[in-house]
Amino acid sequence: MLITDLPADILASLPEYLDSLDDLHSLILTSRCLHTWTSNPTPSVVRSLATTPESGIQPYPHVFIAVKARALADWAIQSPENRNRLSTAITTGGPVRLCDLALSISPLTLDDLAFLRITCITVLEPAITILKGKCDVSSVDDSLFPRCHNITLSVINFWIYCDLFHHNIIAPSHATGADALEPLSNQTRLKWMFHCLSDVNCMFEHPPGDPCGLDEMHRLCMNGIQPLSEKWLIPSLLWSHVHDDVLRERVLYRCAGHMGLATLQLVLLKKVEPKKLGLNSW
């Protein structure tokens, strides 16, 4: 008796008994029949296999939050209850609880894992390699923080921030729209920084509930994150194109410096032609 002779319901349940994504991949490719019945495992099975140490998907849980951050943000702004659930997850469990909420809202799929693998190979790993060569902690002025002690984690957190708070980033351009959505609050952003950024939370003298905390968050963004992104993320040729034009510099920073994966792709550019990017029309 061949394994493909088993009833369809048993074949469909086979992924539940596997130990790794490699095993699942091998099973799916064994035959056309097994591909039909095992290539769409349940989200719980996908998550179980993807989050094992053997999967090699790191840093956990941050990469899974990054993949789902935009979907989580779109869900959160739909109601006060959703906003409260997001805020509670951040403050009570940090990244782990935030990941649990994200994957409950938008379950992990094999397509997500395929996207993550391609992204790691084509964007994240090359960008991290370049940034590791640039981000010498000892060369950073003491007034600029956060310092990138863990480049990989910092890059993933940058991706999370840009997607989780993408409504905040685009809010100024949508403010005049009749159907403009209210972005997540600055308090939520502050809570995320305080509870989820290991290199940053020690910098805050005031907790998120203290009004002074918002001033500290603003100082972090203006005196820390912006100079770091100007130095390491956005190609110098772009800055030279808007030199001595404060308004255009602000537009460049807000756009090019907050695009998540697209910003990280800028890191990979060895040569940028401003005309092709449409900078002359700003």
Q: What is the pLDDT along the chain (282 residues), one digit of tens a residue?
A: 778 778 888 989 999 999 999 999 999 999 999 999 999 999 999 999 999 888 889 999 999 999 999 999 999 999 999 999 999 999 999 999 999 999 999 999 999 999 999 999 999 999 888 888 766 555 555 444 445 678 888 889 889 988 999 887 776 555 455 566 788 988 898 888 888 887 665 555 656 666 666 666 666 665 555 555 665 566 555 555 566 666 666 666 666 667 788 888 877 875 444 444 444 433
Q: Provide the CA 274 distance to its chain's centre, in angstroms.
A: 27
**Is the bond preceding 146 in cis, omega lying within 30 degrees of 0?**
yes
Cβ atoms of residues 71 and 85 within 8 Å: no
Q: How far apart are CA 49 and CA 43, in angstroms?
A: 10
Distances (CA, A) of 50 to 24, 40, 137, 170, 183: 11, 14, 32, 32, 31
Q: Provide the CA 7 distance to its chain's centre, in angstroms.
A: 41
Q: How far apart are CA 150 and CA 152, in angstroms?
A: 6
Cβ atoms of residues 102 and 69 within 8 Å: yes
The residues, ordered by sequence, that sit 6+ positions from 187 with a Cβ below 8 Å of its Cβ are 87, 208, 214
Distances (CA, A) of 109 to 46, 106, 223, 251: 6, 9, 39, 36
DSSP 60: T
* Whole-number pLDDT of residue 279: 42
Please tell me the pTM assigned to this model.
0.80
Tell me the CB-side half-sphere exposure of residue 164, using CA atoms within 13 A. Answer: 31
The residue to which tokens 């090359």 are assigned: 126
Q: How many CB atoms lie within 10 A of CB 26?
A: 12
* Whole-number pLDDT of residue 67: 97
